[in-house]
Amino acid sequence: MALKIIENFDARFTLDPEAQQTLFSLLESDRFLQQIAEQIGGQRVEFTHLLFQPVPYSTATPKGMPAEFESYGNSDDYVIINVPPNFTFQAKIFKPSRLCAIYRKI
């Protein structure tokens, strides 16, 4: 089985405003923020309202994220999480099937 190398992947997407509002409220809930904080050693976080669709690894995207978000991945001031599938389901978001959210450490 040969590997298929993807050089260009369109990671752009738009969310329905109602779905986005639902998703953001889930991502900003106190309980979820506390869970993230526990995972990173107790430091508080805040949601930046930045989302991206993971992309295939390539020479242009070695971290599996669109290039414009790599600075967040390289910074100790931010944490990137996979949006839980049940959150996207509750918000009725089916495309893209996977999302990542960026949080700023406070």
Predicted pLDDT of residue 15:
84
- How is 48-94 classified by DSSP, letter by letter? EEEEE------SS-TTSS-GGGHHHHH-TTEEEEEPPHHHHHHTT--
What is the model's pTM? Answer: 0.84
pLDDT tens for residues 10-46? 567 688 899 999 999 999 999 999 999 999 998 999 9
Domain extents in the chain: 17-105
Averaged pLDDT for residues 50-66: 83
